[in-house]
Amino acid sequence: MMYKTPFLTCGGVVASEHYLASKIGVEILDRKGNAVDAAVATSLALSVTCQNLCGLGGDFFALYYENNSGKVYCINSSGYAPKNLTIEYLREKGYSKIPDRGPLSITVPGYVYGVYELHKKFGGLEFSDLIEPSIILARKGFPISRRFSEAIRKNYELLAKDAGSSKVFLQSDSSIPQEGEILRFPQLSKTLENVKEHGPKGFYEGEVCEGIVDYVQENSGKLIEEDLKDYKPEWVQPIKVFYKDYEVFEIPPNSMGMITLLILNMIEEIGLEGMPHLSKEYVEKLYNIFRIAYRVKDEVLSDPKFVKIDLEKILSKEYAKDLLRKEKFFEGTKVASGDTTYFAVADKEGNIVSAIQSLYLGFGSGLTVPEYGITLNCRARGFKFDGVNKLEPRKRPAHTLSATILRNKDEVLALGASAGDYRPQIYTQLITNYINYENRIQDALDAPRFVWNGNDEILLENGLYYSMLENKPTLSIRREYGLGVAQAVKVRDNVKWAACDYRGDGIPLGQVY
């Protein structure tokens, strides 16, 4: 197994999935920017360097820990379904579910407004100073990473059949750019310039808005200009539970952060004391808990503007006990994966941002607006045709994205990972690695992971798990490598720690002092 070294300093730190994004974030810290300034700059850089994972056509969530007040703030900048996208329309077109890709899988992109609003509320530097490095990256170009190149290869057919995606991501001869080749995105640079000059109106109104809508409609999608013009992100109250001696903060519904906290409550109820880390017993106990929690997700998780969700009940210790006693397991089929990028920032003063952004699947819908270089998400695939999470106009889907902040009397941590629907499973493993088994922050990220994949299937990251469980006849077991890519930052005794796990390209970086 590869190993990365955490970055320790008394200055600020950035942990992201791309080394250039981390470097840009640290440069903002060096220019006296705060954690939010650095987070916004890092986020925008990720939207240029990791366009398979995230971008201006995706969604954004963040938690912000303000050190002086001890308060945790939360922004939900996930988009809603287009006004004219209905179940009736899809059924008329012969669909029995929402398509995974294509124009009918697109929701309104929340990303641009979200990073702007986060900066507006808590940033210190000018927004134009934070977006400028990404404009330069897109215009002048940068060497493509191995992972980005592999993502283009993996999704070649998807990209090649869309005129915009082919123009933006493939070479003039339709070949795949190889690691180290310079990629330039002049169309995206133009869009970023527009946002720099006009703020959110440079995306949700005017020529960029018109360009997005025209391209989606040319491809038989249902997005209209009004859908973008009416969009606003929301400041919401973060949710939390107490786990051991930590407060664990998460993002409320429509995010599935609620399920992470529910799993932690159930783990605390059964206890892990005396249970060896990564043992057969550990895996089997968590496997059962995951199946219980995902039944709750399936039955409850939705947009709270459309469906009443009793968070006080669901996050109570009594509810966790009751679920464990009844043992009602998830009855669906597969649990979906997805491509996402999580990052975290801490500044010299101890303020922390825990943030995540995504297009959902790699390259989202597969549609890229050719004139503006915006790859659009496929987040509508998170809806269903029935139940609490059924598709409705202007409704936000049950969302896989979430982010965490942990706090006790000695320290504050932010951690998260890519993972799609697996996210609550991976987050709870990261948290139990660190708290229950007292792993160092780097070891907590690097430790082998497993996920329950729906039905009776477990995906395992190493041979040790396999040998433990292969004699269990009711389970189909597959070995997998790279289940999620995690990042974390920690503040303790004025020392800032940043860590990126070995599964990704990320490098933790920070100030010297």
Q: Which two tokens stand for residue 425?
A: 């499973």
Query: Any idea which residue has 């922050």 for tokens?
Result: 441
Could you tell me which residues are beta bridge partners of residue 498?
A: 7, 489
Measured CA to CA, the distance from residue 60 to residue 251 in angstroms comes to 11
SS3 336: coil
Measured CA to CA, the distance from residue 486 to residue 343 in angstroms comes to 8
Burial of 173 (0-12, 13-18, 19+ CB in 10 A): exposed
Burial of 96 (0-12, 13-18, 19+ CB in 10 A): exposed
Q: Which two tokens stand for residue 359?
A: 């297009």
Q: b/e string for 377-400 if b means 16 or more Cβ within 10 A?
A: bbbbbbbbeeebbebbebbbbbbb
Ramachandran angles phi, psi of 355, nearest 5°? -140, 155
Measured CA to CA, the distance from residue 251 to residue 260 in angstroms comes to 10
Measured CA to CA, the distance from residue 25 to residue 39 in angstroms comes to 6
Consecutive H or E run containing 215: helix 206-218
Beta strands in 361-461 (DSSP E): 368-369, 374-375, 404-407, 411-417, 450-452, 457-460
Measured CA to CA, the distance from residue 317 to residue 331 in angstroms comes to 24
Three-state SS string over 77-103 comes to ECCCCCCCCCHHHHHHCCCCCCCCCCH
In 10 A of CB 112, how many CB atoms? 29
Measured CA to CA, the distance from residue 180 to residue 48 in angstroms comes to 16
Tell me, what DSSP letter sits at residue 376?
B
In 10 A of CB 274, how many CB atoms? 6
Rg for the chain, CA atoms, rounded = 21
Q: Which two tokens stand for residue 464?
A: 């040790």
Measured CA to CA, the distance from residue 125 to residue 6 in angstroms comes to 28
Measured CA to CA, the distance from residue 142 to residue 184 in angstroms comes to 7
Measured CA to CA, the distance from residue 162 to residue 368 in angstroms comes to 7
Q: Which two tokens stand for residue 31?
A: 């220019």
In 10 A of CB 91, how many CB atoms? 11
Residues serving a catalytic function are 340
Q: Per-residue DSSP letters for 136-164? A: HHHHH-EEPPHHHHHHHHHTHHHHHTSHH
Q: Which two tokens stand for residue 343?
A: 């990052």
Measured CA to CA, the distance from residue 113 to residue 99 in angstroms comes to 26
